[in-house]
Amino acid sequence: MVLMNGKIVPAAKGRVSILTHGFSYGTGCFEGIRGYWNPDTEDIYLFRVREHFERLHRSCRILNMALPYTPDELVQQAVELVRQNNWHENIYLRPMVYKADEIIGVKLHDLRDHYYMIAVPMGDYVSTKGLECCVSSWRRIDDNAVPARAKVTGGYVNSALAKTEANRNGFGEAIMLNADGHVSEGSGENLFLVMNGELHTPGATENILLGITRDTVMKLAQREMGRITRERVIDRTELYIADEMFMCGTGAQIAPVISVDHRPVGTGTLGPISSEMQTLYADVVRGRRPEYFEWLTPIYKPLPVAATNGNLLNIEVSEVID
């Protein structure tokens, strides 16, 4: 079953024309949302699903699109879609808004906006045991060209070029630099370096997607590990001298990096901070940490009431360095 413009229909009816504007020109925006199966509770937990739909609304505003459902309404649609499919395993949700007119001509205005969402099983997107990465020859798209802070479908050609280059050269993932030559992100992941016990990550001005998993990592590092995150400009050669490194994202989850351009990161093995974050994240998203229940949306049964120490989404987590 899939959701098309607010209605759940059989997947066979979830089709669009080959003349659709969004297909011809990449005029669409989307989200990726994970749901984690917990065999102990026999439930799936969508992770920070409302924040994903809030970001989808922001992407729509950038692309001159209208999404006629509130984030809360979209959450309810997502829950019902997963229930209708009766999944009992790890899943991935893909909501997308796109220009639906069947015309030839590049523009964003005076076109109809349609919306769909699918829910499918999903395992690991990249290796979570240790990635060997390279610095890509392809530069990251710029905010004044194709805004990276929006998940624009057409913009992922940039990611595809980098990923294929990396894979064909024997690497598991690419690290992209921005037009100024500073570290931006992976082909579909945010990047963290561990240096002197602190986390360092490219800031919002480095043409990164402001990742929800990235935000989660910073909050968990502050609250559970007592470590601040420095959001700052990062040079390419810092990739070669970091103590540890990991990528993160809804698809990637927490994916340690063990080498960059054939240079080992730290000892060339999974580092202790990356390992701790990986374990912590896996427990939080599967509902094993009740103090983080507010990040979870259950599919089949209500979560038990759990006390939290304030609003997790508003705690101070990072230090921005220009």
The C-alpha atoms of residue 153 and residue 206 are separated, in whole angstroms, by 20
Q: What is the mean pLDDT of residues 181-199?
A: 97
Over residues 108-134, the pLDDT tens digits come to 999 999 999 999 999 887 788 899 999
Over residues 10-63, the pLDDT tens digits come to 999 999 999 999 999 999 999 999 999 999 999 999 999 999 999 999 999 999
CA dihedral for 13, 16, 17, 18, sign (positive or negative):
negative
The C-alpha atoms of residue 4 and residue 21 are separated, in whole angstroms, by 17
Q: What is the CATH number of domain 131-292+316-320?
A: 3.20.10.10
Backbone angles phi, psi at 32, to 5 degrees: -125, 125
Q: What is the mean pLDDT of residues 299-305?
A: 89
Q: What is the mean pLDDT of residues 252-264?
A: 97
The reported pLDDT for the residue numbered 123 is 83
For the ranges 90-99, 231-240, 298-307, the lowest mean pLDDT is seen at: 298-307
Looking at the annotation, which residues are catalytic?
Answer: 151
Instruction: Inform me whether the pLDDT recorded for 312 exceeds 60.
Output: no
Domain ranges within the chain, ordered by starting residue: 2-121, 131-292+316-320
Over residues 136-161, the pLDDT tens digits come to 999 999 999 999 999 999 999 999 99
CB 3 within 8 A of CB 127: no
Confidence category of residue 310, pLDDT binned at 50, 70, 90: very low
CB 49 within 8 A of CB 117: no
Confidence category of residue 100, pLDDT binned at 50, 70, 90: very high
Q: By percentage, how much of the chain surpasses pLDDT 90?
A: 92
Please list the residues that pair with 190 across neighbouring strands. Answer: 248
The reported pLDDT for the residue numbered 320 is 59
CB 19 within 8 A of CB 82: no
> What value does the mean pLDDT of the chain take?
94
The reported pLDDT for the residue numbered 124 is 82
Considering just the CA atoms, what is the radius of gyration of the chain in Å? 20
Site of tokens 């059989």: 10
CB 55 within 8 A of CB 31: yes
The reported pLDDT for the residue numbered 127 is 80
Which residues does 108 contact at the CB level (< 8 Å), separation at least 6? 27, 63, 64, 65, 99
Fold classification of 2-121 is D-amino Acid Aminotransferase; Chain A, domain 1 (3.30.470)
| Dihedral of the alpha carbons of 48, 53, 57, 58, in degrees to the nearest 10 | 20
